[in-house]
């Protein structure tokens, strides 16, 4: 069992977080057991101390696994399924470029 404040403190002090600590924090966000203030504090300390590549991978996987993961294998689609999300501000130009770039890989762009 971890404490959110200890995870924040560890990152604030410049140490890398473990897979388990990252997973605990992300699951806490999902379960509403981590407060908005704690989320903001971790985001701020990551801004100032960055994340290692293993931490980034772990964060991405924890975020993916915190919800429903769709399985498209039964559809027998010809190529990988890709999806693009945006926080806004980049316009439709990004979607148009990614659509064209994904065609050579036979990707199904959704």
User: How far apart are alpha carbons 47 and 51 in whole angstroms?
Assistant: 9
Q: Is the pLDDT of residue 109 over 60?
A: no
User: 98 burial class (0-12, 13-18, 19+ CB within 10 angstroms)?
Assistant: middle
Which three-class secondary structure state does DSSP give residue 58?
helix
Taking only the tens place, the pLDDT of each residue in 15-40 is 999 999 999 999 999 999 999 999 99
Average pLDDT over the chain, rounded to an integer:
87
Taking only the tens place, the pLDDT of each residue in 63-72 is 989 988 888 8
| 89 pLDDT tier (thresholds 50, 70, 90) | low
Q: Is the pLDDT of residue 92 over 80?
A: no
**Domains contained in the chain, CATH given:** 4-65 (1.20.970.10), 73-109 (no CATH)
């Amino acid at each position: 069992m971890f404490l959110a404040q200890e995870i924040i403190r560890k990152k604030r002090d410049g140490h890398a977080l473990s897979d388990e600590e990252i997973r605990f924090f992300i699951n806490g966000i999902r379960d509403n057991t981590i407060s908005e203030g704690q989320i903001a504090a971790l985001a701020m300390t990551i801004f100032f101390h960055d994340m290692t590549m293993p931490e980034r991978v772990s964060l991405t996987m924890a975020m993916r696994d915190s919800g429903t993961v769709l399985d498209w294998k039964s559809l027998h689609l010809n190529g990988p399924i890709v999806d693009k999300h945006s926080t806004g501000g980049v316009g439709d130009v990004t979607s148009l470029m990614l659509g064209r770039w994904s065609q050579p890989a036979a990707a199904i762009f959704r």
